[in-house]
Amino acid sequence: MDKRVLITGCSRGIGRGVALCLAKAGYKIVCNARRKSDELEYLKAELGENFSAELIFDVSDTMAAKEQITMDIEQNGAYYAVVLNAGIIADNTFVALSDDEWKGVINVNLHSFYNVLHPALMPMIRLKRPGRIVAISSVSGVIGNRGQSNYAASKGGLDAAIKSLAIELASRNITVNSIACGVIQTDMTSEINEDFIKFAVPARRAGRVDEVSGVVEFLLSDSASYITRQVIGVNGGLC
């Protein structure tokens, strides 16, 4: 298999799990991270021969994303799939939100849709072969959540953009889907009280990273070629 997959924010958490899962399935992984780190080096070592390239840029930086992605495609070829995973939170009640908390979350979680996909998409289309786009979203974008108006807006906007792009690309055999995650065991959710999880989540537990990465792997497979324009919940029944 020579299918290259770009994964944003892949040095830890869900992104790391997706990278390892897809590498095990035979995909060649293009790793994006905002900065070089020990975590990224460990991941590259674990990927072994299925590591394809390293792209260091902030997904909220339009020019940096364009330059890095264009250079990689020119040198190594277009992507079979892009997994939009990079995301941040800055929780606060709306009246207490600062400009930076609002704009920072929107810039990373929503503007990255354009910044990453815009330079990657035409090379994918020109190959005239199947392709896949998957966004890692959140139940907050579907049902909202107290203290997360910025995060919910970014993820709800992401889901809407995914659905619109899916319509444009369906005839080109490129599927576009979103995964709305609930509480998944990562650094981002480490401070959530376990009793609250048992109360709020019907499954009475947090989800595992492999339960998300397994859905990504399926969506990239041939078996998912007729699944597009969907927001798929991986949330233990939270919504």
Q: Which residues are catalytic?
A: 151
Which 3-state string (H, E, C) describes the chain?
CCCEEEECCCCCHHHHHHHHHHHHCCCEEEEEECCCCHHHHHHHHHHHHHEEEEEECCCCCHHHHHHHHHHHHHHHCCCCEEEECCCCCCCCCHHHCCHHHHHHHHHHHCHHHHHHHHHHHHHHHHCCCCEEEEEEEECHHHHCCCCCHHHHHHHHHHHHHHHHHHHHHHHHCEEEEEEEECCECCHHHCCCCHHHHHHHCCCCCCECHHHHHHHHHHHHCHHHCCCCCCEEEECCCCC
Report the alpha-carbon distance of residue 45 to residue 64 in Å, rounded.
Answer: 25
Q: Which residue has the tokens 């997994």?
A: 83
